[in-house]
Chain A
Amino acid sequence: MHIKSKIYKKTLYVVLCGELDEHSSMHVRRELDEIFSQGEFNQIIIDLSELQFMDSTGIGVLIGRYKKMKLKNIPIFICNPSRHAEKIFKMTGLYEIMPKIV
């Protein structure tokens, strides 16, 4: 699991690559927190186009990051989820706090 990121016009773009499960979750938490703490941006877009697998552990990771960014009034958006990630997001209501953008 690795993470690509860049800031463009005050938007932090993050691409999650690989498999997000219990095994990779600690690494993803740490790396996202580090990326989120650097640079200047006023919104975050998490691109899941290169995420090959995610289970409900991923929901915990994303909600944890949402809570931290909410304290800074920085919204997080999701784009390009797989059909399976989409199914999990819809059943957990994640899109209500991290809207999907096309």
Chain B
Amino acid sequence: MNKTNFMEVTFKAISANESFARVCVAAFCVGLNPSLDEIGDIKTAVSEAVTNCIVHAYPKHSGLVTLRCELDGNQVKIIVKDNGIGIKDIAKAREPFFTTKPSEERSGMGFAVMESFMDSVEVESQNGLTVTMTKKICDNSFLQAGNA
């Protein structure tokens, strides 16, 4: 049976909401029986995408971040969207170690981490920035059955 589900939350683009975003997605994905490694991958990728919104999207005023998570079978799709200034050169921004704020001790590894921890990462800059990431979750239910 193909199970589908989704959730969407919108929150203020402030760093205090980073942990909320991570925990929110992790809790939503629990039904797929992800391993701790898989949940860790997803939480890290979400944290990177949300941090991008908080640090880069709204230089002059406060704004919002929308986090959407869709489950389709064993695949998780995560969409992180802001309505901020976007990115002019997406290819450049995705290069490892590229940062627009070197004076702030930023690693410039946000997109590289997302790409490494998720199966696919798409970035679109139109009316703000939208990052869409997917990851397939292995069926770990037999592990839990074995431990019962």
Contact = CB atoms under 8 A, between A and B. Distances in A.
B47 interface: yes
Interface in B81-139: 96, 104-107, 109-110, 112-113, 116-117
A94 B44 CA distance: 17
A77 B72 CA distance: 43
A91 B51 contact: no
A8 B29 CA distance: 44
A50 interface: no
Interface residues of B, number: 26
Q: Secondary structure of the A side of the interface? A: helix
Contacts of A83: 37, 40
Given A21-B47, A23-B15, A83-B37, A53 B109 contact: no
A22 B22 contact: no
Interface of B: 15-16, 18-19, 22, 37, 40-41, 43-44, 47-48, 51, 54-55, 96, 104-107, 109-110, 112-113, 116-117
